[in-house]
Amino acid sequence: MKGSPSSNLRQPLEKELYEKIVRFRRDLHQHPELSWHEGRTAGKIAAALDDLGISYEAGIAGNGIVATLPGRDASRGAIALRADIDALPIHEETGLPFASRNDGVMHACGHDGHTSILLGAASLLVAGHELPAPVKLVFQPAEETGAGASAVIETGVVDDVALIFGGHIDRHYPLGTIIVTDGAVNASSDSFSISISGKGGHGGRPHETVDAVVVGSLLIIALQTIVSREVNPAHPSVVSVGTFRSGTASNVIADHAELTGTIRAQDPEVRLHLHRSIQRISAAVAQLHGALIETSISEGTPPLINPPAMAALAREAAFEVVGQDGVRAMVVANMGAEDFAYYLERIPGAYVRFGTVVEGHEVWPAHSSRFDFDERTLGFGAAYYAALARIAGRHLVGMPPNDVECRMPPDRETRKGPE
């Protein structure tokens, strides 16, 4: 891993503000709350906004809060900056002095940091010059369920948002870097369930049966050929079987089996192809072995894709904060899901990563009981959002009205399937 540029390690925030958001982050970390139960967290955010004199709406999609900063020109809509606020059902094992006090609940994905970053940005924006366009600060609940963003959208609070931006602390990149990528940033996340009905019987007389275990095993192997043989290797994708349940005894041939798994893709066309292939292969295996197979696919979050024009705005703001050497693109495909993708299906915007790795320090993965991040990341994130609010605002008020009214991201290159 390349080290972080030394020039970027200088904290971009004044000492008093930096220490304030660190304290806020540690308080949230000590009192994590699960998705849809973020009541105390929302109360702390509201109190911080009150201290800054920022107006807000509470109770959005449960425990969400949306604050608004006025701008010089509101005719073309607002700029939105989003942070997620929920925690995970994990028992913390970091040994931090501010470790979780809520047994079995932990901020193991950095959402305490994301919330603190956005409040830091709010402080900078309040203290700065008049904004070109209004700025909405979206503190979103329930990202970990994949349903929080949709719930916020359904309330209508982002109907007047013209551009939206977000970001995530990332353990793959050095402290003092901001990762801005054109195109795919996160994968879609769908699930499948396959029910196999065969014909049970005595383990010593297999010829009288349709063995659900054998059918399920062959189906698992066949499903693995979708990605390896049907999808262009340039398009990252995953089909993984997570559970296989069948059988009651060692000498009984099972008459039923159930498979469940996950489907990930970074391209919408590939995503659709994976769905169709799972259905096709299941039907073919059923016919081949005389079994009845029922396949159900549940769509989750879509892929998160940055339109290049929006990534360019994010990159400009990142340059301002960390310099050209501190701005990078993703080097490996991220197959994790992020419900910010629902916003980008409706509103142009971009999603970035905030590097947090310091050479020589052990790094634990997100959703791990030992996850933590370098708190200096908070300053870089806050300064980035503040710069982005101004840059995106200037861009927005300078856009022709017809361009602003087109709320969908620019069309991406059309692909003819996974080749």
Neighbours of 175 (CB within 10 A): 24
E strand or H helix at 349, and its extent? strand 349-357
If one counts every other C-beta atom within 10 angstroms of the C-beta of residue 103, the result is 8
Candidates 38, 84, 92, 143; catalytic one:
143
Q: Could you tell me if 349 and 310 are in contact, meaning their C-beta atoms sit under 8 angstroms apart?
A: yes
345 carries an active-site annotation: no
Burial (Cβ within 10 Å: 0-12, 13-18, ≥19) of residue 106:
buried
Q: Phi, psi at residue 63, to the nearest 5°?
A: -110, 15
Pairing relationship of beta strands 78-84 and 237-246 according to DSSP bridges: unpaired
Q: Give the SS3 label for residue 181.
A: coil
Closest CA to 114 of 41, 43, 62: 41
As a whole number of angstroms, the distance between CA 3 and CA 34 comes to: 35
- From the number of C-beta atoms within 10 Å of its C-beta (0-12, 13-18, 19+), residue 260 rates as middle
The residue from 33, 38, 84, 86 that is catalytic is: 86
Q: 3-state DSSP call for residue 263?
A: strand
Q: What amino acid is encoded at 220 in this protein?
A: I
Structure tokens at 322: 């960390």
Which of 47, 80, 71 lies closest to 126, judged by CA? 71
In 61-131, at which residue ranges do the beta strands (DSSP E only) sit? 64-69, 78-84
84 is catalytic: no
Burial of 2 (0-12, 13-18, 19+ CB in 10 A): exposed
Distance, in Å, from the CA atom of 377 to the CA atom of 358, rounded to the nearest integer, reads 11
Say if residue 26 is exposed, middle or buried (CB neighbours under 10 Å; 0-12, 13-18, 19+): middle
What distance in Å separates the CA atoms of residue 58 and residue 33, rounded to the nearest whole number? Answer: 17
> Is the separation of the CB atoms in 157 and 267 below 8 Å?
no
Q: What are phi and psi of 292, to 5 degrees?
A: -105, 120
Catalytic site positions:
86, 143
